[in-house]
Structure 1
Amino acid sequence: MDDIAGVVHRPDGRPQGVVALTHGAGGSREAPLLQAICEEWARRGWVAVRYNLPYRRRRPKGPPPRSAAVADLAGIVEAVAAVRTLADGPVIAGGHSYGGRLTSMATSEGLTLDLLTLFSYPLHSPGKPERARTEHLPNISVPTVFTHGTADPFGSIDELRPAAALIPAPTTIVEVTGARHDLASKKIDVPRAAVDAALELLG
């Protein structure tokens, strides 16, 4: 996984499938949320990989430049291809905020997955609901789980519901009461709830 700057979480026994997750703008594969989610997937019997997007591989800190999106989209396709080699079974991909949004864009452009899992999907910049980032959602054809805080300034639950409905495939919204964009919660085990929802949607 060195070629995609990924860290692999392996389960005990034969894997049931593979999961590839990436970070938000300004974050990295070391984000506590990604670590916890990947550990949860491994406990459930899946190989889970958390990886850095190309812009993060180029510099250790800071948000992605506006010019980074094309290379980052290519990096997601590359990462999913690499993760596929680790085990047979379903392939799940997604990420937090920027990383999740770009993974959803890659999926809308033909990246083949069995399920998309999005954490704190950034529907719009804080205070700018008129600039919704939803134009590609109707082109996503795979089941999708949104895990979202009820106090997220990048989009409310009421805004998220009609956005999720644009996807012509089954969707689930995991509401994290009181959580903001980082999905920190003392009341809800966010990784467990997200993985439960994904497994249920996979059937």
Structure 2
Amino acid sequence: MSVITVETPHGPSRLTVHPAPDAHAVLLLGHGAGGGIGAFDLVALAEELPARGITVVLHEQPWRVAGKRIGPRPPTLDEGWRPALQALADGYPGVPLWVGGRSAGARVACRCFDERQAGVICLAFPLHPPGKPESSRIAELAGVTGPVLVVQGERDPFGSPDDVRIAAREAGGAQPTIVGVPGTHSFNRGAATRAVTAVAEFMA
């Protein structure tokens, strides 16, 4: 494991690299708005996927590196993410670069997706604020022009797997692969283990 500092317009962000011995893919993952890279699912992916040939890189936003407790608005998050994308595109030329994250991190990855990336892994995609299904963020998910996996808690108040499936169908375009796991928005260890299997199979 190694740690790399990446400069952004809003201060340094941090990349924690969990390398695969002979990587056939790289997966860059961002954290949520209320937590860091210690979330069960992010840790599980970083521990398990390198043995399957996938280098996992966990990205800490500048606000988190600076010790702040509340994340900024989406445009600032995107500006904190793009330099990390560039660093990995430069550092792993010719290796498929997958992106994603947990909750708000998944939204950032969707908004910033471009032709350099192979696909998106969304862990607990926050389809809408709890109790406000009219405030849908499906446009971010539907805007990805590549393969998308959504791993969603069956009782997630930000949107269940069925909620995401219905919203994606109504939005049209390419449909994401949706995998339901037990629990709510914050995955427990069991849900994190299920997420590892789903991600490994999707990226295979």
Fold agreement, TM-score > 0.5:
yes
SS in 2 for 1:63: coil
Alignment-mate amino acid for residue 79 of structure 1? A
1:70 aligns with 2:75: yes
Q: Match of 1:158?
A: 162
Partner residue of 1:9 out of 18, 22, 27: 18
Q: Match of 2:186?
A: 182
CA offset digits 1:43-99 (Å, max 9, x no partner): 2112110011122123x242213xx32221022221111122343321100000011
Q: How many residues align?
A: 193
Q: Which whole-Å CA distance do the structure 2 matches of 1:27 and 1:188 have between them?
A: 15
Q: Which whole-Å CA distance do the structure 2 matches of 1:20 and 1:106 have between them?
A: 12
Q: Match of 2:104?
A: 98
SS in 1 for 2:80: helix
Does structure 1 retain, via aligned residues, the 8 Å contact 2:150–2:178?
A: yes
Q: Which whole-Å CA distance do the structure 2 matches of 1:170 and 1:132 have between them?
A: 16
Q: Which whole-Å CA distance do the structure 2 matches of 1:167 and 1:39 have between them?
A: 35
Q: Which whole-Å CA distance do the structure 2 matches of 1:187 and 1:158 have between them?
A: 17
Runs of 4+ in 1 over 6 A off after TM superposition: none
Q: Which whole-Å CA distance do the structure 1 matches of 2:200 and 2:127 have between them?
A: 23
Give the TM-score, by structure 2 length. 0.85
Aligned CA distance change for structure 1 residues 6 and 154 (closer, same or farther; 3 Å): same
Does structure 1 retain, via aligned residues, the 8 Å contact 2:25–2:54?
A: yes
Aligned CA distance change for structure 1 residues 169 and 135 (closer, same or farther; 3 Å): closer
Once superposed, what is the RMSD of the aligned Cα atoms? 2.0
Where structure 1 has 5 or more consecutive residues not aligned to the other structure, the ranges are: none
Does structure 2 retain, via aligned residues, the 8 Å contact 1:147–1:174?
A: yes
Q: Which whole-Å CA distance do the structure 2 matches of 1:22 and 1:187 have between them?
A: 18
Where structure 2 has 5 or more consecutive residues not aligned to the other structure, the ranges are: 7-12
Does structure 2 retain, via aligned residues, the 8 Å contact 1:23–1:29?
A: yes
1:27 Cα deviation from its structure 2 partner? 1.1
Q: Which whole-Å CA distance do the structure 2 matches of 1:96 and 1:174 have between them?
A: 14
Alignment-mate amino acid for residue 64 of structure 1? G
Partner residue of 2:56 out of 48, 53, 60: 48
CA offset digits 1:134-178 (Å, max 9, x no partner): 23333221100000010111112221102333363352111103x
Aligned CA distance change for structure 1 residues 21 and 193 (closer, same or farther; 3 Å): same
Does structure 2 retain, via aligned residues, the 8 Å contact 1:174–1:197?
A: no
Does structure 1 retain, via aligned residues, the 8 Å contact 2:41–2:193?
A: no
Alignment-mate amino acid for residue 21 of structure 1? L
1:120 Cα deviation from its structure 2 partner? 0.3
Aligned CA distance change for structure 1 residues 196 and 37 (closer, same or farther; 3 Å): same
1:130 Cα deviation from its structure 2 partner? 1.3
Percent identity for Structure 1 against Structure 2: 31
SS in 1 for 2:100: strand
Q: Which has the higher strand share?
A: 2
